[in-house]
Amino acid sequence: MQPGKQFCAPNSDYASQNFMKKWKHISSKTIHKDRWIHLRADACLLPNGKAIAPFYVLEAKDWVHIVAVDSEGRMLLTRQYRYAADVVSTEFPCGEVDPGEKPLDAAKRELKEETGFEAEDWQLVYVSWANPARQTNKIHCYLAKNLLQTGGQSLDESEDIEFGFAKVAEIKDMIQTGEFTQVLHIASLYAALDQLLKDE
Amino acid sequence: MQPGKQFCAPNSDYASQNFMKKWKHISSKTIHKDRWIHLRADACLLPNGKAIAPFYVLEAKDWVHIVAVDSEGRMLLTRQYRYAADVVSTEFPCGEVDPGEKPLDAAKRELKEETGFEAEDWQLVYVSWANPARQTNKIHCYLAKNLLQTGGQSLDESEDIEFGFAKVAEIKDMIQTGEFTQVLHIASLYAALDQLLKDE
């Protein structure tokens, strides 16, 4: 291979984060901030001495995804209109973690609000950055089993969410047809499947 | 199950998008726009008559992910500092589709720029919305095979990207340790693996 910027993966020294120089934060300016969005423009200094300004950062609350699986292995999906893309999107139950809330509690709350279901068994599937280049938030994905529908939905006036169960093969087909059409949720589908296989 | 907002998945009428009412766009106001970011605030009317304003939308270029696999089944990874999350992230080669550029051409360009590799075989793995609630862009994920390193990297002054190969099992371990830590790329890993299994 060509010489240069090569690494060995995985890196045994990863936890230290010392093997790659980070950018230096110089200053931050708020571009727009209200209860829905917080966009800031930072000035930064790169390790090579180059200045970058503006570099835009979206401060965002963490998100939860819930992959709820019934006794036949079917997964609980939601369907709702997604405005920015102007598309009806089939996904997993999901939502924001409120300030001070634990991610697992947010997952339980969102599952119940969007579908009326509760679950006896909860497992963490992954915690990972939603988009570490631009956003400050992580996604916490949970696998929920032993489901019981304990009530109806509890939606905001602005929410219109349908729900239903589908087999894994059907969901994979829906990725191909564009019915299950949100990349973040494709990650949660496959990562939860991996976890389910380990449990068997 | 409780009555109400249930659906059967997959929906045979999905292509028509007629089974769920969409929001009506009333107006748009630009909050911030330059060569790096375009944030607008829309006013919308929901099917139930409720007005929503502001609803924020990030207009964004489409993105490409490249899962490049060598003859031993190892995948070509990149590693770079991601400022918003302040983390060194191991991922697949990726980037923006330039205006007028075909997504496949963008994928070939980004692979070569970030790693110096070219590939003889290209397959589309998925096209899906990055975040359809807030963003207007899609991700196009490609599987690249029969790799040849035809040169060195070709990076911008602000880019510092390392690259290397890893086995699939190693990448899955890196998801657990937080070394491979970007949800969008977790989706591409698994979706490409599904495609590779179908090809066998």
Chain A residues whose CB is inside 8 A of the B56 CB are 36-37
- Whole-number pLDDT of residue B3: 46
CA angle centred on B188, ends A54 and A11, rounded to 5°: 75
Q: Kindly determine whether residue A5 and residue B163, on different chains, have CB atoms separated by under 8 Å.
A: yes
Confidence class for position B11, pLDDT limits 50, 70, 90:
low
Q: pLDDT tens digits for A32-74?
A: 999 999 999 999 999 989 999 999 999 999 999 999 999 999 9
In the predicted structure, residue A4 carries a pLDDT above the cut 90 = no
Q: What's the mean pLDDT in B60-88?
A: 96
| Chain A residues close to B153, C-beta within 8 Å | 4-5
pLDDT at B200 over 50: yes
Between A131, A164, A189, which is nearest B184 by CB? A131
* Cross-chain residue pair B160–A5, CB shorter than 8 Å: yes
Lowest mean pLDDT among A141-145, B144-148, B175-179: B175-179
Q: What is the CA radius of gyration of chain B?
A: 20
Among B117, B120, B67, smallest CA distance to B91 is for B67
User: What residues of chain A lie within 8 A of the CB of B186, using their CB?
Assistant: 126, 128, 187, 190-191
A with B: how many residue pairs have Cβ under 8 Å apart?
Answer: 289
Say what the pTM is. 0.93
Partner-chain contact B179 A126, CB within 8 Å? no
Given a cut of 60, is residue A2 above it in pLDDT? no
In this structure, what are the phi and psi dihedrals at residue A125, rounded to the nearest 5 degrees?
A: -95, -50
> Which of A47, A134, A152 is the closest to B160 by Cβ?
A47
Q: Determine the Cα angle at A68 with ends A106 and A114, to 5°.
A: 55
Q: Do A20 and B80 touch (CB under 8 A)?
A: yes
Tell me the ipTM for this assembly. 0.92
User: What is d(CA A121, CA A113) in angstroms, rounded to the nearest whole number?
Assistant: 18
Nearest residue of chain B to residue A33 (CA atoms): B31
For residue B178, is it left (φ>0), alpha (ψ between -120 and 50) or beta?
Answer: left
Comparing CA positions, the residue from B106, B181, B99 lying closest to residue B140 is B106
A179 DSSP 8-state letter: S
**pLDDT at residue number B183:** 96
The reported pLDDT for the residue numbered A3 is 46
End-to-end CA distance of chain A: 41
Structure-block tokens of residue A144:
């929920």
SS3 B163: strand
Nearest to A10 among B57, B127, B174 (CB): B174
Q: Which residues of B touch A31 (CB under 8 A)?
A: 31-32, 39
CA distance to partner chain A, nearest, from residue B200 (Å): 18
Q: Which of B88, B128, B187 sits opposite A20 (nearest CB)?
A: B88
Please check whether residue B41 is in contact with residue B28, taking contact to mean a CB–CB distance below 8 angstroms: yes
A71 φ, ψ (degrees, to nearest 5): -65, -15
- Name the minimum distance, in Å, from the CA of B128 to any CA of chain A: 5
pLDDT of residue A156: 86
pLDDT at residue B20, rounded to an integer: 76
* Lowest pLDDT segment from A153-157, A162-166, B5-9, B43-47: B5-9
- Identity of the amino acid at A47: P
Do B158 and A52 count as a contact with CB atoms less than 8 A apart? yes
- Per cent of chain A over pLDDT 90 is 82
Residues of B in contact with A176 (CB under 8 A): 126
Task: Give the per-residue pLDDT at B25.
Answer: 96
- Looking at residue A117, what is its pLDDT? 97
- Residue holding tokens 């979706």? B191
Give the SS3 label for residue A191: helix
Residue from A33, A67, A83, A196 whose CB has the most chain B CBs within 10 Å, to mutate: A83
* C-alpha distance from A104 to closest chain B C-alpha (Å): 18
Q: What is the mean pLDDT of chain A?
A: 92
- Contacts of residue A161, defined as CB under 8 A and 6 or more positions apart, other chains included, come to A78, A79, A80, A114, A153, A155, B5
